Structure 1
Amino acid sequence: MKLLCPLFIYLFISISFAQTQIIDGETKYPVSYATISFGDGQGIFADDDGKFYFTKKLYKDVDSLYISALGFKDLNISTENLPKTIVLRAEADKLDEIVVSAKMDRKFKKETLEPYLDDDYYSCWLPTIESEIAVFFPNGNEQLKKITSVLFPITLESRDWEKRKRSNADKRPFSTLFKVKFYKNDSGHPGEVLTYSNIVFVATEKNGDEFELDVNEHDLFIPDDGFFVSLQVLGYTDDQGKLLPNKKYKEIKSKTGGIIKIPTNFRPLLPFTDEMNGHRTFIKRVFINGNNWVQFKEGNGIESSLLRSGLNNYGVGINYNAYKDE
């Protein structure tokens, strides 16, 4: 039997399921990559056109949706007679905080904090749609610094497990959309966002063992007390980089006849390290309303083989410009 290609599946779902679009109430533009939570730990994401697919066939017990997006007021809406268009209202008090930076006309030195790479499957976090990972970067001195790019380490897997230790082995293909956020430091935890821009990228096996995300245009200057950068899986994409409908759980029938929900793991894997000082990594479950960040550390109620192995941090790196004093 031939397997259906992702594009065919996408077209089939587009035709079969109810399609809803989320728009900005003022501009009428789509709200890209909004989070649609179901209130019980489940959820999905809108695509770049603000569209998502919801059907009672997949989510039988869901009676309301909780919709959130950067810069907009949260919205609760019933799934009964779900409209084709959902309108979000801008959260003006937060948007007013955005500061437009003038072009820096000063000499600077390019600096790099290298990422920590690892191709060992057992040293990796298996990304799921429900989780967001944030890593803290302290500011070592008072020098003005602008973040130019973020270096996300990724682990590639061989198509053939027996050849997994060979660097020239054919790699398992993937095309995954990620969302990136930058947060202020709020007493050692991720706080308010530093930018309301939607920052996303598509990673494939062709990117090698790290993905460099250029953020120079966002004018992100490192605060005195440091910042957090986070990574969140939105799901797999088609050949054009368009987000495919991705279900958070695989549902498998148990021997007793019940349904067991197993989180869907997405590729690429994210290598953790024991070479970064301290516990600088935080995680949260994005589909639970009001959920707080939890430090990735033993004793915080996190069951992880990574922690048992002393792998406490996701090894993100950054490039930045360190400006000289005037």
Structure 2
Amino acid sequence: MSSKLFTTLFFTIFVWYFVAAQITVSDSITKYPVSYATISFGNGNGIFADDEGKFFFTKKLYPDIDSLFISALGFKNLNISTKNLPSELLMQPQASALDEVVIGTKLDRKFKEETLKPYLDDDYYKCWLPTIESEIAVYFPKTTTQDQKLTEVIFPIALESKDWNKRKRSNSDKRKFSTLFKVKLYANNQGKPGKVLTYETIVFRATEKDGDAYTLNVEDYDIYIPNDGFFVSLQVMGYTDKAGKLLPNKKYKEIKTKEGIVKIPTNFRPLLPFTDEIETKNTYIKRVFINGNNWVRFEKDNGFTSSLLDKGLFNYGIGVSFKTYKDE
């Protein structure tokens, strides 16, 4: 068999395999794709659909998974067996009232623009290693009784040098990455993230070209800061191609132990720098693929084992910009 024929045959089988394994999550009414739905496996692991609502699943890929739990903002949760899994999964829209702080009309008053700067750091040893199983949320209090509109969220990113020996040089070549993140905005519910403040799906792609912080413009979402503050969350979804499309990355490393195969979540770049310059502990963590899992503040008393906590690094130092409107 010629090498050209072998390559063609291999590519054909490869494409057929992934097409056969492809499943689409759709809106049951409009039939539009449900972008970036969360696919939980029921064992603490899971994956995400892409922007077209597509993900890959077969029993060969995941032989130990017998059911899928699918969730997405604005839709009822879907629990389905993996036996005879259809190629399209339909989710029912859920009409839920958003918090009263989300106002549909724009304020036409004078305002002052303010920014709480992010905490930047390129020290690798002070960084969180993102995995798809964890969502990080940071709390921000309201700073005045006046109306305030959120305009930007600034996410610190630690860039890594290609050459470890040159890591402390600001002009060293940086490791390339192209990573997709999902962002959520939550109301404050007794000190923890509560209701979402918008059902819009918010994602962004970060690369090494963005520098040590990514600025996300959220002004068009018309988020007015609640009186008891709000949370911003960040969740890594995986690597993308050059066009920003989510790739079917290997999300877990399988390690053989005496008890069987253990799945260890893959770490994705970029690293997220944590800081000790914030007095209060404002950062919370949630396991994404566990249904009904609670938010837990990032501290030792809550069962976390982390070198960051050993160094007194309790917070991911997100920055925000907002407009503070003058009283009428």
Q: TM-score, normalised by structure 1?
A: 0.93
Choose from 266, 270, 274 the match for 1:264: 266
Aligned partner letter, 2:17: S
Structure 2 regions of 5+ residues with no counterpart?
1-10
1:132 paired residue number: 135
Which residue identity is paired with 1:139?
Answer: K
CA distance in 1, matches of 2:80, 2:306: 35
CA distance in 1, matches of 2:12, 2:129: 28
Cα offset, 1:277, TM superposition = 2.1
Q: How does 1:147-296 map to 2 (within 5 A)?
A: 147-253=150-256, 258-296=260-298
Aligned match of 2:94:
91
- 1:139: Cα distance to partner? 0.7
Root-mean-square deviation (CA, aligned residues, Å) is 1.9
SS in 2 for 1:23: strand
SS at match of 2:70: strand
Between 1:99-108 and 1:224-233, the stretch displaced more is 99-108
Between the aligned residues of both structures, percent identity stands at: 67
Map of 2:5 onto structure 1: none
SS in structure 2 at match of 1:220: coil
Aligned length: 316
Which of 105, 108, 131 matches 1:102?
105
Select 1:325's aligned residue among 309, 324, 327: 327
Q: Is the 8 A contact 1:195 1:218 kept in 2?
A: yes
Measure how far apart 1:96 and its partner are.
10
User: 1:297: which partner in 2?
Assistant: 299
Q: 2:74 is matched with which residue: 68, 71, 77?
A: 71
Q: Which residue of 2 aligns with 1:111?
A: 114
Given that 2:101 and 2:225 are in contact with CA atoms closer than 8 Å, whether structure 1 keeps it comes out as no
Q: d(CA) in 1 for partners of 2:142 and 2:24?
A: 40
Post-superposition CA distance 1:183-207 (Å, at most 9, x none):
0000000001000000000000000
**CA 1:94–1:63: 2 relative to 1, 3 Å:** farther
- What's the TM-score, normalizing by structure 2? 0.92
Looking at structure 2, the residues matched to 25 and 35 of structure 1 have their Cα atoms a distance apart, in angstroms, of: 17
Letter in 1 for 2:157: I
Confirm or deny: 8 A CA contact 1:113 1:318 kept in the other structure. yes
Aligned residue for 1:39? 42
Q: Tell me how far 1:91 sits from its aligned partner.
A: 1.1
In structure 2, C-alpha distance between the alignment counterparts of 1:124 and 1:96, rounded to whole Å: 33
Asked if the contact 2:23/2:87 (under 8 Å) is kept, the reply is yes
Q: In structure 2, how many angstroms separate the alpha carbons of the residues matched to 1:35 and 1:290?
A: 13
Taking a change above 3 Å as real, the CA distance of residues 167 and 16 of structure 1, as seen in their structure-2 partners, is: same
Change (3 A) 1:321 1:37: same
Question: Counterpart in 2 of 1:26?
Answer: 29
> Would the aligned equivalents of 2:111 and 2:324 in 1 still touch at CA under 8 Å?
yes
Structure 2: distance between partners of 1:195 and 1:13: 39
- Aligned counterpart, 2:53: 50
Hey, what does 1:3 align to over in structure 2? none
**After superposition, what is the alpha-carbon deviation per residue over 1:278-300, rounded to whole angstroms, capped at 9, x for unaligned?**
11000011001110000001210
Q: Is the 8 A contact 1:130 1:248 kept in 2?
A: no
- Given the superposition, is the C-alpha separation of residues 98 and 148 from structure 1 closer, same or farther in structure 2, using an over 3 Å criterion? closer
Within a 5 Å distance, the mapping from 1:306-321 to structure 2 comes to: 306-321=308-323
Contact 2:102 / 2:223 at 8 angstroms: preserved in 1?
no
The 3 A distance-change label for structure 1 pair 323 and 26 is same
Deviation for aligned residue 1:259: 3.3
The AA in structure 2 aligned to 1:252 is I
Q: CA–CA distance in 1 between the matches of 2:99 and 2:183?
A: 21
Residues 197-206 or 22-31, more deviating: 22-31
| SS of match in other structure, 1:307 | helix
Residue type of the alignment partner of 2:137: A
Aligned letter for 2:276?
Answer: D
Distance 1:13 1:316, change over 3 A: farther
100-109 or 187-196: which moved more?
Answer: 100-109
User: 3-state DSSP class of the match of 1:278?
Assistant: coil
Structure 1, unpaired ranges of 5+: 1-9
Q: Is the 8 A contact 1:115 1:152 kept in 2?
A: yes
Question: Structure 1 runs of 4+ off > 6 angstroms?
Answer: 10-13, 95-98
Partner Cα distance (2:61, 2:295) in 1: 29
